[in-house]
Structure 1
Amino acid sequence: MSDPVELHDATALELHQLLQRGEVSPSELAAHFLARIERLGPELGAFAQVDADGALERARRVEREVPKTAPLWGMPLADKDLQLRAGMPARFGSRAFADFVPLESDALVRDVDRAGAVSLGKTATPEFGLPSYTEGLAFPPARTPWDLSRGAGGSSGGAAAAVAAGLLPFAPGSDGGGSIRIPAASCGLVGLKPSRGRVPGGSGIGSLAGLGVAGPIARTVADAALLLDGLVAPAGYPAEHPFALRAPGSDGPFLGAAIRGEGRYQLGVMTETPWDDFTDIVVEPEAHAALERGIELADRLGHGVEAVPPAPEPGYADAFRAVWQAGAGGIPVRGEGEELLEPLTRWLLRRGRALPATELVAALSWLSDYEQRVIRRLASYDAVLTPALAMTPRPVGWYDAEDGERNFAQQVAFTPFTSFVNVTGLPAITVPVTFTEAGLPMGVQLIGRPGGEAVLLSIAAQFERRAGVVGRRPPVW
């Protein structure tokens, strides 16, 4: 077997190859990452729970029972604390669910198990995954390993912190308004939000307005594609899919597109956001520099680049807020239990429960029409380039913990380019392209056509090769 002190330096794809060649076993790999989590995990706030005994038993089960052809055979990862794993506490980042232990696993957890992955525990998330940062009262804040004074983003902040610090080779996240892409960008990682309907165990089809989908967080584009293949088709291709609605385009495998990184494409560049009429959106110099770097890379790679003409959408903020609040209104906490919720969650929950049904129906109808307008508007581009975030990763404690209105506006100002991609159901990927003078990673977002994950992976792989930031390690490593 390979020297275990070097295993976390390998990419997920390299670890997968070691497993396939028998140079390391699932149990050995799990033990290595568990030891690393024990050493570095606490200062990062990456994990809601580590399940060492359960992880080693799962690794032994994979060795005994799962065919080596399973796409994620023996690969360590961790479940986000919003996912249910039978017998393991599911706290949803909330004090209100401190004692909840589900009897059954949900679909995404069952799928990663079928794919042969070995879960090491639960990654941290903010309360019910609602905010774009992972700082709550139930657990310590998740921090980016590039600067421990700054947050890892959210809501998949624990997953991103763990992957960026080499505590996991990759991790699944969920994304209802940017919750994969925001922490990936904050931690210098690749984060892929798939098309609505692409991942069967986290399709978004059953969520309000179809916002929330599952996808990969990884250190490289190829690693993200490897995990995406496991999430899309845990038993192999063609993918089983229990819905009549599904994402168009290829079902994969996607790893080939990421490894090849071929093609010349027409890219649009977008700097406006649908939040521009809601608050003053300022793209800070560091974020603008990342976008300029992305444009430079696209031009050098031979892609066509043109500005996307603006198209104001003044109704977006009211419609999205209504749906976000209505979703929080469904949290199964009543009476005295509400006092265990955090102020932002209580504000969202009470606004959601007070929302008239007619307003929710109108918001859903508006967003459905908006989806069609945006897809038509962007149809001439193979992909659309935006900043990943409008600011550098935010300092821990930057968000107002008491005033819901101000908190919401702060989140919008930080990440104005992500939520509309969930509304439209389009795929999007963030990829790091530069670092600030202070050593913070900054990235760009590429938005694809419906079902266009393969194209996004190809372009992102080209950016990754040319940008030269892969392999740079954070101070916490």
Structure 2
Amino acid sequence: MTALHQLSALECAGLIRVGSVTSVEVTEHYLHRIRRLDRRLGAFVVVTEELALRQARQADEILRAVGPDGVGALHGVPIALKDNLDVEDVVTGWGCADRTDEAIGDDNVVVRLRQAHLPIIGKTQLPEFALPCYTENLLGGDTANPWRSEFSPGGSSGGSAAAVSAGLAPLALGTDAGGSVRIPASCCGVVGLRPSNGAVSNGPSDPSPNGLSVPGVLTRDALDAGALLDVISDPMPGDPTAARAYREPRGRLRIGLAVDPMVPDLAVADECRAAAEKLAAGLQESGHELVPVDLGKDVAVADAFRDAWSVVAASFEVDDEEALAPFTRWLRDQGRAVSGVRLHECLTMFRGVARMLEEMVFGMVDMLVTPTLGMLPQRRGMFRLHRDEEENFAAMTRFMPFTPMYNIAGMPAASVPVEVVDGLPVGAMLGGPYGSERRILHEVAMIQSRAGGAVGLAPGWA
């Protein structure tokens, strides 16, 4: 018999709608798994059991009142949230000891989740202020990779990705400012989508005025990802940007393949290249045309991303600077040295990259395949081994040279599980022009369907 946590979120929602199981029963099932198993994983900062069960009871009451045709596709299915998203009356920790206040309201995506009646089962681990590409902090948050516990799940949405991969949550939200959804998706063998800027409403707690960060989804099934995207999409009052129109291409797609990043003098692991080539070949087998693409090299873009990201680090208000992690302090120092003129220059360069991609890349191809990462998943603590934080940042750049391009441009991309190497998953990335996130997920769903369906749980967690 298939257990509830082995089902896709849509399958689980289907059982809830027909009365085979209640939202309370599904929610209790996941809460029990968290209580029993999360000590091995360390995915959750806090489990919101009382909130989740109250929401599940409400979901069941609404279903009884309106019937199965009156509820949404994910009605009653529980979800986990990264701990930088505000849930009213729950502490938003940001992986930092300095943050202990309960949120006074919901972020926009949480409003959407409440409206769709998805019980919130807890907040997941992240590194301090979501700045690095791993999930370790000074609060004891050192999340394990469900596939091999001595390895990192990546970051910064590592707790969310690990929870989905291990079957402690059927769905999760993260945020992605430089790859923070797609990096852990690759490391944990799940689907992770960064939507287009404007497709999902930021804030209001963190409105991301530089355009880098957006909420993203983590699931084992591309169809689940699409359903969750539908729940959290559409603008909210005060949004500074709106979703761009997307013209659906007809018939055969032109799929670009680029296995070298825009960052110069950087070697990409053979296994990461092979994953991208395998994903591209799968799309070609679907009948699409495959086209090689050279993204070019530009160190100025990497420098601009670093300067803009350091300004984000410096923007957080803290009471005790010395209590922060060394990398956080170093990056904040870098950010304080960035002038307003330099930040304007960086943001102007980002718009230039977006225009280049839209005209020169997505004017030639409909979608682009690249590796998700430049290296295989790394051991826990590896990035903190560097006493020189400058080298720490350089090591992170070598690890994640492909993902920031889509944040810089504000375009959508998804990491897709492709291979398993030495017991660890390796993903590849499929990106597209503004507004193409649903077409991206459609192509991923087709590939998953041919492979037999959704990605299974990490070994040993079924």
Shorter-chain TM band: over 0.9
Q: Which runs of 5+ in 2 are unaligned?
A: none
Closer, same or farther in 2 for the Cα pair 1:159/1:47, shift >3 Å? same
For 1:345, which of 328, 334, 340 is the aligned residue? 328
Q: Match for residue 16 of structure 2?
A: 19
Q: 2:241 is matched with which residue: 230, 237, 245?
A: 245
Question: Where does residue 256 of structure 2 map in the other structure?
Answer: 268
**Alignment partner, residue 269 of structure 2:** 284
Aligned to 1:75: 77
The 10-residue stretch of structure 1 (178-187 or 398-407) with the greater mean CA deviation from structure 2: 398-407
Quote the offset at 1:157 in angstroms: 0.4
Deviation (angstroms), 1:471: 4.5
TM-score calculated relative to the size of structure 1? 0.90
Distance 1:138 1:122, change over 3 A: same
Structure 1 range deviating more: 58-67 or 291-300: 58-67
- SS across alignment from 2:120: strand
Q: 2:347 aligns with which of 335, 339, 364?
A: 364
Structure 2: how far apart are the matches of 1:150 and 1:282? 21
Aligned-residue offset at 1:60 = 1.7
Verify the 8 A CA contact 2:291 2:365 in the aligned structure 1: no
State the AA in 2 paired with 1:76.
Answer: P
The separation in 1 between residues aligned to 2:451 and 2:275, in whole angstroms, is 11
Of residues 289, 292, 300, the one that matches 1:315 is: 300
User: Does the CA contact (< 8 Å) of 2:199 and 2:242 recur in 1?
Assistant: yes
Residue type at the aligned position of 1:232: S
Measured at CA, do residues 46 and 386 of structure 1 come closer, stay the same or move farther in structure 2, by a change above 3 Å? Answer: same
Contact 2:151 2:379 in 1 (8 A): yes
Q: Is the 8 A contact 1:41 1:47 kept in 2?
A: yes
For residues 103 and 204 of structure 1, what CA distance do their matches in structure 2 show? 10
Alpha-carbon distance between aligned partners in 2 of 1:46 and 1:8, rounded to the nearest angstrom: 16
Counterpart secondary structure, 2:383 = coil
Offset of residue 434 of structure 1? 1.8
- Map 1:143-158 to 2 at 5 A: 143-158=144-159
Secondary structure class of the residue paired with 2:428:
strand
The secondary structure found in structure 1 opposite 2:369 is strand
Q: Structure 1 residue 17: deviation in Å?
A: 0.6
Residue 45 of structure 1 corresponds to 42
Structure 1 residue runs of 5 or longer lacking an equivalent are 234-238, 252-256
Cα distance in 1 for partners of 2:456, 2:312 equals: 39
Change (3 A) 1:471 1:178: closer
Does residue 452 (structure 1) correspond to residue 436 (structure 2)? The answer is: yes
Partner Cα separation in structure 1 for residue 432 and residue 338 of structure 2: 33
**Off by >6 Å, runs of 4+ in structure 1:** none
Residues 192 and 218 of structure 2 are in contact (CA less than 8 Å); yes or no, is this contact kept in structure 1?
A: yes
Instruction: Name 2:279's counterpart in structure 1.
Output: 294
Alignment partners' CA distance in 2, 1:357 and 1:202: 23
Q: Secondary structure at the match of 2:256?
A: strand
Shift of 1:170: 1.1
Once residues 372 and 191 of structure 1 are traced to their aligned partners in structure 2, the CA distance between those partners, rounded to angstroms, is: 25
Partner Cα distance (2:432, 2:443) in 1:
10
Label 1:77 to 1:366 Cα distance change in 2 as closer, same or farther (>3 A). same
Deviations 1:174-225 (A, max 9, x none): 1000011001111100011100000124699941420101121000111111
TM-score, with structure 2 as normaliser: 0.93
The reply on whether 1:407 has 2:392 as its aligned counterpart is: yes
Q: Report whether the alignment pairs 1:164 with 2:165.
A: yes
Query: C-alpha separation between the residues in 2 aligned to 1:49 and 1:121?
Result: 6
Output the CA distance in 2 between the equivalents of 1:230 and 1:207: 21
Secondary structure of the residue aligned to 2:210 is helix
What's the secondary structure of 1:274's corresponding residue?
A: coil
